[in-house]
Every structure is written in C-alpha cells, then in structure tokens.
Amino acid sequence: MTEQNLEELGDKIVRVLKTIFDPEIPVDIYELGLIYDVFVSEENDAKILMTLTSPNCPVAETLPVEVEDKVKSLKEINDCVVEITFDPTWTQDNMSEEAKLELGML
C-alpha cells in the first residue's frame, strides 16, 4: 500500500471516529481528544490508541468495542484493535477548538 493510500485510509478512519459520540458530552470522540493515535499496518489492520475522560467512565466497556466495530466496518480494514491508555491523562486541553466552541468553553 502506498503512503498516499495509507493516508487516505487514515482519513477514512478519522471520519468514522467522528461518528462516535461520548454519551455524556455532545461531541464526537475525535474532537474530544480521546483518540491519541491511529496506526494502519501494511496488512490493513488498524490499531487505535485512545483514552477515556476518566478511568471510571461509564462507557469504558462499550466505547472501545464501538470504535473497533465501526473501524472494522470499513471494507479496506481487515481487523481493528483498540488500546486504552491513561498516559497521558485526558484533560480539557485535549479538546479541539471545535469541541470547546460546541461546549461553550470559548
């Protein structure tokens, strides 16, 4: 897969991630800054490194599964694994300007 194709696939993954919303905050998980990194292997397997707003987040069990399922739904992706990390800890500084504006923080 060429670098351009990998970049296009990465963009598709980001578009899918932007369809997933935190149930407590009306902003998608990408704009919230919960996604730390997206990796795609030469075999078209994806790995998503993400965090949650807190370790006690009520969707800690379901949100990673939703991310995996939605990314796997892309026809170009063979498999997806989500790794949860709390290093670094999520803060409101992780949020995009768009998310802050949506939440009235600007």
From the number of C-beta atoms within 10 Å of its C-beta (0-12, 13-18, 19+), residue 104 rates as exposed
Specify the pLDDT at position 1: 62
Domain boundaries, the chain: 3-89
Cα Dmax for the chain: 42
Specify the pLDDT at position 68: 97
Residues 6+ apart with CB under 8 A from 93: 33
Averaged pLDDT in 10-residue chunks for the chain of 106 residues: 78 95 89 95 93 88 95 96 95 94 88
CA dist., res. 20 & res. 40, Å (int): 19
Residue type, 30: Y
Is 3-89 assigned to CATH 2.60.120.10? Answer: no
Specify the pLDDT at position 7: 81
- pTM, two decimals, is 0.91
